[in-house]
Structure 1
Amino acid sequence: MQRNHDRLVHLRIGGRNQYLVLRPEDVKHVMQENHRNYGRSPAFEILKIFLGNGLLTSDGDFWRRQRRLAQPAFHRQRLAALTTTMIAETASWIAELKQHNTQQPVNISQAFMDVTMRIVCKTLFGSDTTGKLDGLSTALDTLNYLANKKMLSPIRFPYSWPTPDNIRSKRARAQVDSFIYGVIDQRRQQHQDKDDLLGMLLSAEDEDTGEKMSDQQLRDECVTIFSAGHETTAVSMAWTVYLLSKHPDVLARLQTESRAVLGDVTTPPPDAFRSLTYTLQVVQESLRLYPPAWVLSRRAHHPDHIGPYTIPAGDTALISPYLLHRDPANWPDPDRFDPDRFAPGGPKDQLHSYAYLPFGGGPRLCIGNQFTLMEMQILLAMLVRSFELKPVPKQRITPKPLITLRPNQAIRINLL
């Protein structure tokens, strides 16, 4: 490892040269100002095996076309129509949690996996998923586990080889494909416009050519939405609840806001959640400390210069939101959980725009960032309104940097 002052760290990983970019202004150069020089790194070829060629893994002109087609589905006004579904599913989930024996801690990591799966299925496919979630959830969890395993393995057998992991992967992918293609085919035959995300993707047209997405493209975008809207949101929520259980002062302030704004109705109106200012700050601070996409990689098409240093063509620029978010030059006392950093007009507003990247940046900013923020606010406000959160003694939770920044074990919480 070679450090170039405080701008780049040169790493040699797996026989490849990689350059960790440290300053927010240099990150902006890579992700925005010179973004056309940077494509997806070789790591994304592994993700393509599992996710297909969706917005997360595609590149170049194909990515740009897909982004144009998918963007309207994630417009704020379109997403507002989906908040009613989020609220209803969360209310049902809260009712189930109230049946839990309060003498036993709750596996909150798994609980969030369950509810985010329900939310993403209902918002993506509407009512077409009724009674079909268990098998789909298991298949997606298998694909996620095997993708993590393959990414971390120094030996990667070709996907065509009949290894036990490849066989498991192909079976799980076949199960996911059967479900998603079945829903797509059913929708095409019905010729009905629906307000869920799949309906919006089905109706999307390229404004230049009039083309719509093929079944393969729809499948790949649906799997990508599943992965982002299910696993990453669940992991982020588990980290948030863990932090709150360790900081009762923040929790008390959050409860005061949620109970005052939402009242005691089972399913609060969507407009009420827009007033949850402190709830959003808590979510933002949790994403600062534990960003799900903890590292991003971009391969240089041509040589690039960052200050006096060169990133050669074919080498990789690494950007770590985790490190950016904990840089004391931008975040005083960076390991402290302090939602007031994100208060309107507060410290966050004075920082470089690329000092905080929970959803990436530039043209490849996560298309579902507003969807995720709204979902997290709804889940969090309705949970703390209903329960006290108490930590489980002697539970040692540390970050485990897989594809997403997971905890090293399932987080358990006492809900009282």
Structure 2
Amino acid sequence: METIVPVHPGLPLVGNTLAVARDPLGMFTRLHRQYGRVVRINIGGRNQYMVFQPEDVKYVLQENHRNYGRSPAFRVLKRFLGEGLLTSDGDFWRHQRRLAQPAFHRQKITLLASTMVQESAAWVAELGQSDLSGPINISQALMDVTMRIVCKTLFSTDASHRLNGLSHSLETLNVLANKSLLSPIKWPTSWPTPNNRRYAKARKQVDDLIYGFIASRKQTGTRHDDLLDMLLYAEDEEAGDSPNRRMPEQQLRDECVTLFTAGHETTAVSMAWTLYLLAHNPASLERLQAEVAGVLGTVKTEEGALPPVEAFRAMPYTLQVVQESMRLYPPAWAMSRMALADDHIGPYRIPKGDTVVVSPYLLHHDPTNWPDPERFDPDRFAPGADAGRPAYAYLPFGGGPRLCIGNQFALMEMQILLALLVQSFDIHLVDKKPVRPQPLITLRPSRPIRLQLTARPTAP
């Protein structure tokens, strides 16, 4: 029997757009508490069906995923990312996924992780040589090191001399994309508005860098153990003799920009939240430092050599800390899918062309599956602690066939960065005033996180 979907009242013409734009997390949380399973709202003149329960989220993202394509909201991201894995759809997406998947197999991640260790260790050493008499902007410091890591793992190059300009360009694109996403008025991209001019300038700087890397690699023909090499030479065996067996240059650009953006910004934001939470929870920090010391302190290496990647995989509590941080502050805090045909989620009808919205943030803060959900507790991810918890109650990297292809890459990078940092430094809060989450394209801190770092006397 079909059940009528409850509709949340809104204003004439604009519906719920203004309420969502003012406070997305607060609005979504209130809707969850009021309606429980599903509610229809109107944003930007489009019907949006918010689903709150893990079993319904699983249905949309996994069980009937072929009926739910990228929503119109992704057009905003597609303007910058092109037809990368994050924004493409249908058969084209499946073709691209087959081409890119081998680059993220476990043995490839291990190879790239060695670069992560080298760059992270160099960054920690530089911090130790810097002036730590006052607090540091750890948000910016992490943006810098994650960009170094993604440049080396993606392009085998050091772009440190261009970091400031590149970071600014990526930040500009993020902010402008978020404005466009929430704006009820969509100005044509060809109009020379101030925002469109800023957008074009920022995109050109990123494109110049990415196309430069691709052109240089093609000209030299030199092989490298990096992601660009894997993408350049990847072949889709199902394509037969088609010219699409390998990626054309435009597609290489789109995939590189997607990996570059996701591998840089989302990892830095997640790491900043992790350190913020640890500074608030000194007992967890001490336990983490004890695990790191217990593992890295017993690794036998030649003098001056760095720990092997396997050592970082032998730190379960370090991974739990990262997982709990991403529960509280998932970088992808909301995602949307458009119904390609009429459907039902349980007894509720979803019309073709309407959008379904899923919020990992709400799923991660639901007290039904996460008792005392605002408390930081890495033991939620201890072995066996997930017994009885729905799989789709935790979605830091999405779910179903479109699970983020770089999830293991990101987790490995965060574990390495975190372990090496807390091995050398104690961290302390400078400002006791809480930092609020700011839901842009990713869930960012409302202001830069500033921490006091103190060198540990036991640091090597």
Q: Same fold (TM over 0.5)?
A: yes
Identical amino acids, percent of aligned pairs: 65
Which one of 363, 377, 381 corresponds to residue 338 of structure 1? 377
User: What pairs with 1:9-408 in structure 2 (closer than 5 Å)?
Assistant: 9-127=39-157, 129=159, 131-209=161-239, 210=241, 211-263=245-297, 267-346=306-385, 348-408=386-446
Q: Counterpart of 1:334 in 2: which secondary structure?
A: coil
Q: Which amino acid aligns with 1:363?
A: P
Question: Is the deviation greater in 183-192 or in 378-387?
Answer: 183-192
What's the offset of the Cα at 1:63? 0.7
Counterpart contact for 2:45–2:184, Cα < 8 Å: no
Can you list the C-alpha shifts for 1:269-302, whole angstroms capped at 9, x where unaligned? 1111010100000000000000000001001011
Counterpart contact for 1:124–1:197, Cα < 8 Å: yes
Can you list the C-alpha shifts for 1:330-388, whole angstroms capped at 9, x where unaligned? 11111110000100111x24311111000000010000000000000001111111111
Q: Counterpart of 2:156 in 1: which secondary structure?
A: helix
Question: Is the deviation greater in 364-373 or in 190-199?
Answer: 190-199
What's the offset of the Cα at 1:266? 6.7
Structure 2 residues without counterparts, runs of 5 or longer: 1-6, 9-30, 299-303, 455-460
CA distance in 2, matches of 1:144, 1:393: 26
Query: Counterpart of 2:16?
Result: none
Q: Which amino acid aligns with 2:328?
A: L
Q: Closer, same or farther in 2 for the Cα pair 1:222/1:146, shift >3 Å?
A: same
What's the offset of the Cα at 1:146? 1.9
CA distance in 1, matches of 2:168, 2:305: 30
CA distance in 2, matches of 1:148, 1:109: 20
Counterpart contact for 1:128–1:183, Cα < 8 Å: no
Counterpart contact for 2:44–2:182, Cα < 8 Å: no
Q: Closer, same or farther in 2 for the Cα pair 1:79/1:334, shift >3 Å?
A: same
Question: Is the deviation greater in 27-36 or in 138-147?
Answer: 138-147
Q: Counterpart of 1:156 in 2: which secondary structure?
A: coil
Counterpart contact for 1:293–1:359, Cα < 8 Å: yes
CA distance in 2, matches of 1:151, 1:412: 29
CA distance in 2, matches of 1:108, 1:134: 15
CA distance in 1, matches of 2:451, 2:182: 29
What's the offset of the Cα at 1:168? 1.6
CA distance in 2, matches of 1:33, 1:236: 29
What's the offset of the Cα at 1:185? 1.5
Q: Counterpart of 1:213 in 2: which secondary structure?
A: coil
What's the offset of the Cα at 1:128? 6.3
Can you list the C-alpha shifts for 1:27-86, whole angstroms capped at 9, x where unaligned? 110000100000111110011111111001111111111111000011111110011110
Taking structure 2 as the reference length, the TM-score comes to 0.87
CA distance in 1, matches of 2:47, 2:209: 41
Can you list the C-alpha shifts for 1:245-288, whole angstroms capped at 9, x where unaligned? 00000000000001111129672211110101000000000000
Counterpart contact for 1:148–1:403, Cα < 8 Å: yes
Q: Which amino acid aligns with 2:272?
A: A
RMSD (CA atoms): 1.6
CA distance in 2, matches of 1:141, 1:407: 13
Q: Closer, same or farther in 2 for the Cα pair 1:5/1:411, shift >3 Å?
A: closer
Q: Counterpart of 1:293 in 2: which secondary structure?
A: coil
Structure 1 residues without counterparts, runs of 5 or longer: none
CA distance in 2, matches of 1:231, 1:322: 18
Larger radius of gyration: 2
Q: Counterpart of 1:54 in 2: which secondary structure?
A: coil
CA distance in 2, matches of 1:133, 1:388: 27
What's the offset of the Cα at 1:134? 3.9
CA distance in 1, matches of 2:322, 2:194: 39
Counterpart contact for 1:123–1:197, Cα < 8 Å: yes
What's the offset of the Cα at 1:102? 2.9
Counterpart contact for 1:91–1:266, Cα < 8 Å: no
